[in-house]
A and B are shown apart, each in its own frame.
Chain A
């Protein structure tokens, strides 16, 4: 598992830097993180059917659920950057190790559910760590000002780069540690709950969670905007006509 953890740590570190240092290139979005984690952790041809679809499912659900339309200052502290990586990694690594405990009828849905729940929990716990990170930054900022006043510009730059490195290390260690914790928790819990997890039951939970995700998407993309309903209806009508045309053409 060590090579996988190194890859997860590298990816988690890069995404945390993207979100926290100011790159803001969208790499830290759950959909991107989950898909990249899936591509990096692909366990090989034996799992080809599910290995890439599960991270995609986890990424889509987390993207809809973790997108908050409030301004950043009004948002609750959530670590959305590493949530996608952790969710997808927990799902893929658990799939490889724990699949014999589950009935075949559950298919890939259980792993998507597991990854989504792991990602949601990881974003909450990761958000708690933001406060300590900012307190540490305050100490560094004071030191940076002292160095600037003393004219020690090289030391000032070194201190600043160490701040960037700290963000990377924090994201990397948190991603790897949370993935290990998630897989361990799944290894302990799944054998016990396996008898409840039939195909129809996991399908029902998945459908409800998908509905909640789309409700959240509706809140983010339609409700908060002026005349959002009108434009959403127009989009739905356009897609409906296209589908009708494609469907009719196919027949």
Chain B
């Protein structure tokens, strides 16, 4: 007997809206450490950006075709500061998530959002990290040589470990905090990139590190010159003798400072020329 009324089928449950998990943010963060592996002038960090955002795309797009298209649209030109790339990754991942959930977001909107954040981050990040913080960290390592006296004059010099450790800690204490929390913060503040950019306080931080850098270099000069002056005249021959011993150092310093003003970026050539001239002069004197 046929049932006069067909059985009502249960309504199909809609697929849950895809959204990103904490693990995806962790994967994107870890992959952002390889952002520049295929760095080339034409696309710069484009392939690296696609590689870093891939865990998010895998989560958001179940369809292979959609996933491939999403990956391809992140392969174009992209350039920002590598330490700050996580913020752009977070913003792009948020937009991809909304698109996957059905929001009307087109390719151009995602590209515009990426560029509007990547360019200012590069403009603020390069002077902060490359011009200021990295040299400052190197200087902190060198200062370790002056600040930590030898524990044992005939034993192994443990400053060989202390100095690089100081340099690494100085730089990474700042840089790693931006790297580790970048993706998550970019994702959370994707709606207001201007506010996000302002909240990073990159410009004031740069000013602070510039002052610290100059301050530490002034200290290093004194910490270097003091023992040099003390050891220059062990027999107590007078000021003229001390000045003559310190003269090569001072001459090298002045020549280098003047030459770098005229030919910036030519430090290697200046150093090698100065060493050669000093050797020739020393054989004549």
Whether both chains belong to one complex is answered with: yes
Interface residues of A (CB under 8 A from B): 20-27, 29-32, 35-36, 38-39, 42, 48-49, 51-53, 55-56, 59-60, 63-72, 74-76, 78, 113, 116-117, 120-121, 123-124, 134-135, 137-138, 140-141, 144-145, 148-151, 153, 156-157, 160, 163-164, 167, 196, 200-201, 204-205, 207-240, 243
* CA–CA, A49 and B129, complex, Å: 36
Chain B residues closer than 8 Å to A52, beta-carbon distance: 156-160
Judging by beta carbons under 8 Å apart, are B156 and A48 in contact?
yes
Q: Which residues in B have their C-beta under 8 angstroms from that of A63?
A: 138, 141-142
Q: Are A65 and B267 in contact (CB under 8 A)?
A: yes
Q: Could you list 19 further interchain pairs (A-B, Cβ under 8 angstroms) beyond the known A26-B175, A137-B39, A215-B253?
A: A21-B33, A23-B34, A26-B172, A29-B138, A35-B161, A149-B68, A205-B279, A207-B252, A208-B252, A211-B249, A213-B271, A214-B224, A214-B252, A216-B270, A217-B217, A228-B214, A238-B219, A239-B218, A240-B222
Between A and B, how many residue pairs show CB distances below 8 Å? 339
Cβ B36 vs Cβ A31 within 8 A:
no
Among B227-269, those with CB < 8 Å from A are 246, 248-257, 259-261, 264-265, 267-268
- A38, A70, A239: which has the most chain B beta carbons within 10 Å? A239
Cβ B41 vs Cβ A218 within 8 A: no
A201 to chain B, nearest CB (A): 4
Q: Are B71 and A148 in contact (CB under 8 A)?
A: yes
**List of A residues within 8 angstroms of B157 by Cβ:** 52-53, 56
Could you tell me the distance between the alpha carbons of A39 and B164 in the complex, rounded to whole angstroms? 11
Most B CB within 10 A of own CB, among A30, A140, A151: A151
Q: Does B83 contact A (CB under 8 A)?
A: yes
Give complex CA distance A153, B63 in Å: 13
Asked if B226 and A243 make an inter-chain contact with CB atoms under 8 angstroms apart, the answer reads yes
Q: Given A35-B163, A243-B223, A20–B37 Cβ distance below 8 Å?
A: yes
- B92 contacts chain A at the CB level, 8 A cutoff: no
B192 at the A interface (CB under 8 A): no
Give bound CA distance, A149 to B67, whole Å: 9
B13 at the interface (CB under 8 A from A): no
Is B105 located at the chain interface by the 8 A CB criterion?
A: no
Chain A residues lying within 8 Å of B213, measured Cβ to Cβ, are: 221-222, 225, 228
- Find the residue from B72, B127, B218, B251 having the highest chain A CB count within 10 A: B218
* Complex contact A208–B275 (CB within 8 A): yes
Residues of chain B contacted by A239 (CB below 8 angstroms):
218-223
B260: chain A residues within 8 A (beta carbon): 215-216, 219
Which residues does chain B contribute within 8 Å of A69, judged by CB atoms? 131, 135
Assuming the contacts A29-B134, A48-B155, A60-B145, asked whether A120 and B268 have C-beta atoms less than 8 A apart, the reply is yes
- Contacting A at CB under 8 A, from B1-49, are 32-43, 45-48
Q: Which residues of B contact A201 (CB under 8 A)?
A: 279, 282-283
Interface contact A65-B268, CB-CB below 8 Å? yes
Q: Are A225 and B282 in contact (CB under 8 A)?
A: no
The CA of A226 and the CA of B45, in the complex, are separated in Å by 32
**Which residues on the B side are within 8 Å of A49 (C-beta)?**
154
Q: Report which of B82, B219, B254 forms a contact with A22, defined as CB distance below 8 A.
A: B82
Query: Do residues B160 and A153 form an inter-chain contact, with CB atoms below 8 A?
Result: no
The answer on a CB contact under 8 Å between B168 and A27 is: yes
**If the complex has contacts A201-B283, A235-B217, are A220 and B135 also in contact, measured as CB distance less than 8 A?**
yes
- Bound complex: CA of A212 vs CA of B41, how far in Å? 33
Structural contact, B38 and A140, CB atoms closer than 8 A:
yes
B256 x A215 contact (CB < 8 A): yes
B1: min CB distance to chain A, Å: 52
Assess the A31–B142 pair: CB atoms within 8 A: yes
Least distance between B107 CB and chain A CB atoms (Å): 14
Q: Quick check: B253 and A211 within 8 Å, CB to CB?
A: yes
Q: Give the CA-CA distance A31 to B51 in the complex, in Å.
A: 31
User: Are B142 and A71 closer than 8 Å at their CB atoms?
Assistant: no
Q: In the complex, what residue of chain B is closest to A75 when comparing beta carbons?
A: B265
From the candidates A23, A30, A134, A150, name the one contacting B68 in the complex (CB within 8 A).
Answer: A150
Q: Is the CB of A31 within 8 A of B222?
A: no
B249 pairs with A208, CB closer than 8 A: yes
| Chain A residue, CB-CB nearest to B211 | A231
**A141 in contact with B42 given A22-B48, A56-B163, A239-B219 (CB within 8 Å):** yes
Task: Tell me the bound Cα distance from A135 to B39 in angstroms.
Answer: 9
Q: Across the interface, do B126 and A215 meet the contact criterion of CB distance under 8 Å?
A: no
